[in-house]
C-alpha cells in the first residue's frame, strides 16, 4: 500500500503519528510556557524595563549592575548557606529516622505517618504563619523555654544570626518525604548481603558503613539533586516569615528577585537575575552529576 492511498484516518493511526499527536500537549506547553517566556526574559534582561513604561535596550547594564550590587551578593550568600545547611541536615535526619523505623510492625506504620505529616503540609501558607508566631517574642518557643526554667523574650526573628535558623528548622522539619524514599530503597537491600557480612564478622556499625550506605548512595544522590534545586529556590516561607529581615540576613535570592521586579519595578534587572539563577542551578546540578562517579555506587547488587 503506498502512502497516497491511505485515508486520513489511517494516516493518523500510524505509530509515529500517534506518538507525535499524543505528545503534542507537552510540545506546545513546553514551547509556550517555558521556552518563549525564557527568551522574552532574555531580551528584557538586556533592557531597562519597569513594566509601566516601554523597554529600552541597555546592553549588559543589568548584568554589570549585579556585580556591583552588594545586596545581590548578600542574597547569594544567604541562599547558599540555607541550601548547604538545610539540605544535608534534612537528609541525615531522614536517613537516621528511616533506619530506626525500618522494621515493619503495625505501630511503626503510625510512627512513619506522624513523621511525614509535616512534609505534606509544610509548604503551605498556614504553616508559614504558624512558624512566624511560634518564634515570635511572646510565641510558643519562648514560652516553653520559660517552662523549663529559661525565662526569655529573645527575638528569634529579629536577630541576624538566629532568623535564618528559624527557616532552616522549618526546612529540616519536613524530612518526611526523603525518609519515605530512603525506606523504600532500604527495603530493596537483600538480607543475604547482611548475612554474608555477619559471617565475615562485621558488626552492626560496620554493616551500615560497608553495606547499607554504599547501596544507598544512588538514592542519596537523587535526593541531593532534587532538594538542592528546591533549596535554592525556596520562596513562600521566607517571603511570609521574614521577608529578608533583619538586615537582609535571610534575604533569599528569589525574594530579592521578587522585590526588585515587583516592588522596585526593576523588571529588567529581575529578568537578568532569573537568568543568572538558572545558570547557578544548572552549574550545581552539573557539579552534582559530574562528581557522581566519585562517591555513588552504581554497580548493581
Partner 1 sequence: MGMKAKQRLGRIIYHILVCGFGFVMIYPLLWMIMSSFKETSTIFSTASQLIPEKFVLENYSTGWKGFAKVSFATFFKNSLTISIIATIGTVLSSAIVAYGFARCKFKGRRILFVAMLASMMLPAQVLMIPQYLWYQKLGWVGSDLYLPLIVPYWFAIQGFFVYLMINFIDGIPRELDEAAKIDGCSYYGIFRRIILPLITPALITGGIFSFMWRWDDFLSALLYVSNTAKYPVSLALKLFCDPGSSSDYGAMFAMATLSILPAVIIFIFLQKYLVEGISTSGLKG
Residues 111-170 that bind partner 1 (CB under 8 A): 111, 113-127, 129-134, 136, 138-140, 143-144, 146-147
Check: CB of residue 157 under 8 Å from CB of residue 241.
yes
Of the candidates 62, 86, 212, 223, which one interacts with partner 1 according to CB under 8 A?
223
Per rule CB under 8 A, is residue 13 in the interface with partner 1? yes
Q: Which is nearer to partner 1, 210 or 226 (CB)?
A: 226
Note whether 215 and 301 are within 8 A (CB): yes
**Three cell numbers written together for 253:** 535570592
Which of residues 249 and 267 has its CB atom nearest to partner 1 in the complex? 267
Least distance from C-beta 274 to partner 1, angstroms?
A: 5
Q: Which 8-state DSSP code applies to residue 56?
A: E
Tell me how far apart the alpha carbons of residues 93 and 172 are, in angstroms, rounded to a whole number: 8
Q: Binders of partner 1 among 69-88, rule CB under 8 A? A: none
Angle between helices 61-68 and 267-290 (to 10 degrees): 70
Taking the least distance from each CB to partner 1, the nearer of 163 and 273 is 273
Residue whose CB is less far from partner 1, 141 or 210: 141
Binding mask 234-273 for partner 1 (x = CB under 8 A): -xx--xx-------------x--xx--xx----x--xx-x
Give the pairing type, strands 47-48 and 56-57.
antiparallel
* Local structure of 57: helix, strand or coil: strand
Among residue numbers 175 through 194, which ones bind partner 1 (CB under 8 A)? 176-177, 180-181, 183-184
Q: How far is the CB of 4 from partner 1 (least distance, A)?
A: 20
What is the C-alpha separation between 2 and 132, in angstroms, rounded?
Answer: 70
Q: Which residues contact 96 (CB under 8 A, 6 or more apart)?
A: none
**Is 27 or 206 the residue whose CB approaches partner 1 more closely?**
27
Number of Cβ within a 10 Å radius of residue 11: 10
Choose, by CB under 8 A, the member of 28, 73, 84, 209 that binds partner 1.
28
Amino acid at each position: 500500500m503506498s502512502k497516497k492511498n491511505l485515508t486520513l484516518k489511517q494516516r493518523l493511526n500510524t505509530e509515529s503519528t500517534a506518538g507525535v499527536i499524543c505528545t503534542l500537549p507537552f510540545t506546545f506547553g513546553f514551547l509556550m510556557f517555558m521556552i518563549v517566556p525564557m527568551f522574552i526574559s532574555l531580551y528584557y534582561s538586556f533592557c531597562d524595563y519597569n513594566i509601566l513604561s516601554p523597554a529600552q535596550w541597555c546592553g549588559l547594564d543589568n548584568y554589570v549592575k549585579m556585580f556591583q550590587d552588594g545586596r545581590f551578593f548578600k542574597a547569594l550568600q544567604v541562599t547558599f548557606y540555607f541550601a548547604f545547611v538545610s539540605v544535608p541536615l534534612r537528609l541525615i535526619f531522614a536517613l537516621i529516622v528511616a533506619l530506626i523505623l525500618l522494621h515493619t510492625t503495625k505501630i511503626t506504620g503510625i510512627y512513619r505517618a506522624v513523621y511525614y505529616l509535616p512534609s505534606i503540609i509544610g509548604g503551605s501558607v498556614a504553616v508559614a504563619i504558624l512558624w512566624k508566631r511560634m518564634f515570635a517574642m511572646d510565641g510558643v518557643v519562648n514560652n516553653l523555654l520559660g517552662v523549663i526554667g529559661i525565662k526569655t523574650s529573645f527575638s528569634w526573628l529579629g536577630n541576624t544570626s538566629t532568623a535564618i535558623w528559624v527557616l532552616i528548622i522549618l526546612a529540616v522539619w519536613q524530612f518526611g518525604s526523603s525518609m519515605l524514599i530512603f525506606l523504600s530503597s532500604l527495603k530493596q537491600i537483600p538480607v543475604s548481603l547482611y548475612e554474608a557480612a555477619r559471617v565475615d564478622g562485621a558488626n552492626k556499625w560496620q554493616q551500615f558503613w560497608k553495606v547499607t550506605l554504599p547501596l544507598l548512595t544512588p538514592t542519596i544522590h537523587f535526593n541531593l539533586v532534587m532538594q538542592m534545586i528546591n533549596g535554592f529556590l525556596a520562596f513562600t516561607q521566607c517571603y511570609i516569615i521574614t521577608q529578608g529581615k533583619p538586615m537582609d540576613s535571610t534575604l533569599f535570592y528569589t525574594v530579592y528577585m521578587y522585590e526588585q521586579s515587583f516592588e522596585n519595578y526593576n523588571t529588567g534587572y529581575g529578568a537578568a537575575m532569573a537568568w543568572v539563577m538558572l545558570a547557578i542551578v544548572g552549574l550545581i546540578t552539573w557539579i552534582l552529576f559530574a562528581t557522581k562517579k566519585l562517591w555513588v555506587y552504581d554497580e548493581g547488587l
